[in-house]
Amino acid sequence: MDSQDKMDDYKLVQSIGRGAYGYVYLYRRLSDGRLVVIKQLPMESISPEECEVTKNEVRVLSMLQHPNIIEYYDNYLDVNTMMIMMEYAPGGNLYDYLRSRGEGNLLQEEDVLHLFSQLVLGMQHIHESNILHRDIKSNNILLDKSHRIVKIGDFGISKILSSKSKAHTVVGTPCYLSPELCQEKPYNQKSDVWALGCVLYEMLTLRRAFEAETLPALIMKIMRGIISPIHAHYTQEMRGFLQLLLHMDPAQRPTIAQVLAQPLVFPSLLRLHADLGMIHCVSRPLRLSSVTPDRLRTPRGSVDGRVEDGSGGK
């Protein structure tokens, strides 16, 4: 089936937005009525480095299959445009949802743990695949229409690690950078755990843990590790858990497996394991063999691509 035949099965619904390298659209698949996101990247307008970033997201997505990770469907070249088909998250992202609640309209602790536990389960699958996400933030955490199901998205700067290796490149969104990243030290999965702590704080307070007018001032705040206290109606266990995730020393921060073993998280996990079968997640074969630089430039081939927009569903 060539690219035109593929697109004959899709009807454009609306534009979702523009990313760093291309455009994101919402389509309806005519064969089953399902809404899908199609990221479109004009290949002639990007650099070789951007091309590598494009290839990286599909390489990572093709390795991952979990109910709490945005699902990858397919990719191909249409003339000189890379098309990446992905799952649509109708509830938008966590950042917008939290801001829409209005100041002071805090989430109940049980609801925070319901969302956070799903996020940790998705991260467990990512880390067990020897992948660092490197850009966990509320903008990249997508939701279903009821705002009860979490989907991790945007894998453009994720890194596939060899066993016991550490990453060195400083990447990610500044507000969620770990202290070791701020110091340009080698880092590992514990840096993603710090970002999870920042997201948890955001869910508890409806504001970011670390913010400043300038990047140097932000780095200073992160390096001091001082955050405003959470509201008194949250439990002491939650306060201790948050401090554990945001420990300045990565060696003292828990692994994802240790986070899942926390008594505070365990009841939510039990409920989730009873419900996870209700979340749509289609089985599909791995596509790693199709990820090659040469094929990325070949028209009408099945290749790997990336449009970085921080969306994946919005």
* Helical (H) or strand (E) element with 204: helix 189-205
Rg of the chain over CA atoms, in angstroms?
19
Residue 175 in contact with residue 211, Cβ under 8 Å?
yes
Tokens of 269: 């996990």
Whether the CB-CB separation of 141 and 150 falls below 8 Å is answered with yes
Residue 292 Cα to chain centre, angstroms: 24
Residue 261 φ/ψ region, left for φ over 0, alpha for ψ in the -120 to 50 degree band, beta for the rest? alpha
**Cα 144 to Cα 276: distance, rounded to the nearest angstrom:** 14
Angle made by CA atoms 13, 2, 49, in degrees to the nearest 5: 75
Considering 96, 135, 275, 304, which one is annotated as catalytic? Answer: 135
What is the spatial distance between Cα 308 and Cα 314, in angstroms, rounded to a whole number?
12
State yes or no: is 8 an active-site residue. no
227 Rama class: left (phi>0) / alpha (psi -120 to 50) / beta? beta
Q: What is the largest CA-CA distance in the chain?
A: 59
Is 159 annotated to bind a ligand? Reply is no
Kindly state the tokens that stand for 39.
């990221």
Amino acid at 5: D
Residue carrying the six token digits 């659209």: 25
Token pair, residue 1, equals 């089936």
Q: Which residues are annotated as a binding site?
A: 39
Q: Which residue numbers belong to the known binding site for ATP?
A: 39
Give the active site residues: 135
